[in-house]
Amino acid sequence: MNVSAVDSLLAQMQAAATTAQGGRSPPRSGPSTAPDFATLLKNSVDQIAQSQSQADSLTQKFTSGSSDVSLSDAMMALQKATITLQTGIQIRNKVVTAYTDIMNMQV
C-alpha cells in the first residue's frame, strides 16, 4: 500500500467522522479519483502476494546455485516480504478493532 493511498483513505475516514459528528465535510476540489476501500484492500493484498512470490523466487534461484542472484538480494527480498506481511497484519488488526468498536456502540 503506497503512501498516497493511505493518505487518501485517511482523508475519507476523517470526512466520514466529521459528517457522523454532525459537522460538514470539507469541500473537495474537483471530482474524486480516490479508489474505494475494496480496491485499496485488494491492491494491498496483491502487493503482499507479489512481494512473497518475488522473495520465494529469488530464494529458490539462490539455493539452486544461480550466479545472477546474490545472498544479499535474496535476504533483502525476504526482509521486504516479511515487513510487507507484518504491515498488512497490523492494518488488518486495526480494521478489525475499529469494526468491533463500531459494532459495540450503542445507538
Predicted local confidence at residue 77, as pLDDT: 93
Predicted local confidence at residue 41, as pLDDT: 85
d(CA 7, CA 15): 12
- State the CB neighbour count (10 A cutoff) for residue 73: 14
Predicted local confidence at residue 12, as pLDDT: 75
Q: Are 34 and 8 in contact (CB under 8 A)?
A: yes
pTM of the model: 0.61
Predicted local confidence at residue 83, as pLDDT: 94
Q: Is the pLDDT of residue 107 over 90?
A: no
46-75 residue pLDDT tens: 999 999 999 999 999 999 998 899 999 999
Give the pLDDT mean for 68-89.
Answer: 93
Which distant-in-sequence residues (6+ apart) come within 8 Å of 48 by Cβ? 81, 84, 85, 88
4-35 residue pLDDT tens: 766 777 777 777 777 766 655 455 555 667 77
Residue 6 corresponds to which amino acid?
A: V
d(CA 81, CA 56): 9
Cα distance between the two ends of the chain: 34
Query: Residue 55: which of 19, 82, 33 has the closest Cα?
Result: 82
